Chains A and B, each alone.
Chain A
Amino acid sequence: MFGWFGKISFVPFSKVQDFAVHLKDGRLMGSVCKGCGYATFPPRADCPQCLAGEFDFREIGGRGKLYTWTRISAAPTGFEDVVPYTLGVVDLEEGGRLVAWIGDTIPEGEIRIGMGVQVVPRMMEEREEIKVYYTIEKPGTTWGKAPPSG
Chain B
Amino acid sequence: MSRVGVIGIGHGKFGRRSDATVQELAFEAFRLAVKDAGIAREEIDASVVAAVPEYHKQRSVAGVVQEYLNLNPAPTWLTEVACASGSAAIRTAWMAIQSGLHKVVAVIGCQKMTELSTGEILALMGRVGEVQWESVFGTTFPGYYAMFATRHMHEFGTTREQLLQVAVKNHFYGAKNKNAMFQKEISLPTALASEAVASPFCVYDCCANADGAACLILADEGRARASGKKVVWLDGVGCASASMSVLRRPNLVGLPSAVEAARQAYKAAGVTARDIKVAEVHDCFTIAEIMAYEDLGFCKKGEGGRFIEEKRSYVGGSVAVNADGGLKAKGHPIGATGVSMAHEIVSQLRGDAGERQVPGADVGLTHNVGGIGQYTFVHVFKRD
Distance between Cα atoms of A85 and B139 in the complex (Å): 10
Give 14 new A-B contacts, CB below 8 A, not counting A42-B133, A96-B247.
Answer: A8-B126, A10-B132, A10-B135, A42-B132, A68-B147, A69-B150, A70-B143, A71-B198, A73-B196, A73-B198, A73-B199, A75-B138, A99-B137, A100-B137
| B125 CB, nearest partner CB in chain A, Å | 5
Distance between Cα atoms of A29 and B137 in the complex (Å): 18
Residues of B within 8 A of A79 (CB): 126, 138
A: interface residue count bin: 35 or more
A64-114 contacts to B (CB < 8 Å): 67-79, 82-83, 85, 87, 89, 96-101, 113
Distance between Cα atoms of A9 and B135 in the complex (Å): 8
- The yes or no answer to A52 lying at the interface (CB within 8 A) is no
Instruction: List 7 A-B pairs, minimum CB-CB distance, nearest first.
Output: A6-B136, A76-B126, A79-B138, A70-B146, A10-B131, A68-B151, A77-B123
Question: With A87-B143, A87-B147 as given contacts, are A76 and B122 in contact (CB-CB < 8 Å)?
Answer: yes
Residues of A within 8 A of B142 (CB): 74
Q: Are A68 and B136 in contact (CB under 8 A)?
A: no
Chain A residues with CB under 8 Å of chain B are: 2, 5-11, 14, 42, 67-79, 82-83, 85, 87, 89, 96-101, 113, 133
Nearest CB in chain A to that of B128: its residue: A76
| A133 CB, nearest partner CB in chain B, Å | 7
Question: With A6-B136, A75-B138 as given contacts, are A70 and B150 in contact (CB-CB < 8 Å)?
Answer: yes
- The yes or no answer to B154 lying at the interface (CB within 8 A) is yes
Q: Are A76 and B150 in contact (CB under 8 A)?
A: no
B113-163 contacts to A (CB < 8 Å): 119, 122-123, 125-127, 131-140, 142-143, 146-148, 150-151, 154
B183-225 to A contact mask, C-beta < 8 Å, 1/0? 0000000000001111111000000000000000000000000
Q: Are B137 and A101 in contact (CB under 8 A)?
A: yes
- The yes or no answer to B269 lying at the interface (CB within 8 A) is no
Distance between Cα atoms of A8 and B150 in the complex (Å): 26
Can you give 13 contacting A-B residue pairs, CB < 8 Å?
A5-B136, A6-B136, A7-B138, A10-B131, A69-B147, A70-B147, A72-B140, A73-B198, A75-B140, A87-B137, A89-B147, A89-B247, A99-B139
| B153 CB, nearest partner CB in chain A, Å | 9
- The yes or no answer to B252 lying at the interface (CB within 8 A) is yes
Q: Are B199 and A77 in contact (CB under 8 A)?
A: no
Distance between Cα atoms of A79 and B139 in the complex (Å): 10
Residues of B within 8 A of A11 (CB): 131-132
| B161 CB, nearest partner CB in chain A, Å | 19
Distance between Cα atoms of A78 and B147 in the complex (Å): 21
Q: Are B252 and A67 in contact (CB under 8 A)?
A: yes
